[in-house]
Amino acid sequence: MEKLVLATHNAGKIREFRSVLEPLGFDVLPIRQVCPHITEPEETGTTFAENACLKAEYYMKASGLPCLADDSGILADALNGRPGVYSARYAGPDCDDEANNRKLIADLSAFPPEKRTVRYVCVLALLFPDGRRILEEGQCQGILRDFYAGHNGFGYDPLFYVPSLGKTMAELSMDEKNAISHRGRALKQLVEALS
């Protein structure tokens, strides 16, 4: 099995990546398991691709192993694409999911429900020590609700309503989510590129 480092501490992302990559023969290791005392790099990129590559390169060099990093977020059309690359720290540098969710709900409260269209974007960067790199992007469209539904997701998932399924991302099973989510779509393209 080829070892592959995940550049994330997020348990939800680790579960999602493992469910897709381990059946392909990868031994998927969270960075904390490989480099327990490493500090996180500062995400200075202005795009999802820049941040994903920055993280993948940083952790690949630290571990000496192929590294998969993602940068993802939510873009609200009514807010001209905000929070975008700042999705994880939308309510401030030390905020949590709940604070980010409250801020996005508040910022969209002036708009009627049909104008609260959002999309998730995910860029995956897989970098190898020999210089190979694979970059893939996935997107998923939805509507931001101002109330929570579901317990299976993380981040904005309990608010992100998928009209075609009549559920929020947090109400979907892992298989359902992987089939339509931004990360699932980017992962599918990554799997095709690896094949």
| 181-190 pLDDT per residue, tens | 898 899 999 9
Tell me which architecture the domain covering 2-194 has in CATH: Alpha-Beta Complex (3.90)
**Quick one: tokens of 6?**
């995940």
Structural domain boundaries in the chain:
2-194
| 76-90 pLDDT per residue, tens | 999 999 999 999 999
pLDDT value of position 43? 87
CA distances from 185 to 29, 131, 137, 178 (A): 21, 24, 8, 7
pLDDT value of position 13? 80
Report how far residue 79's alpha carbon sits from residue 102's, in angstroms, rounded to the nearest whole number.
15
| 125-171 pLDDT per residue, tens | 999 999 999 999 999 999 999 999 999 888 999 999 999 999 999 99
Beta strands of the chain (E only): which ranges?
A: 2-6, 26-30, 67-76, 82-83, 117-127, 133-144, 160-162, 167-168
Name the catalytic one among 27, 71, 107, 175: 71
CA distances from 113 to 17, 98, 117 (A): 32, 20, 8
Question: Who has greater pLDDT, 20 or 141?
Answer: 141
In this predicted structure, the answer to whether residue 118 has a pLDDT above a threshold of 80 is yes
Q: Is 71 marked active-site?
A: yes
**Quick one: tokens of 58?**
């940083």
| 43-66 pLDDT per residue, tens | 899 999 999 999 999 999 999 999
pLDDT value of position 99? 96
Calculate the CA 134 to chain-centre distance: 16
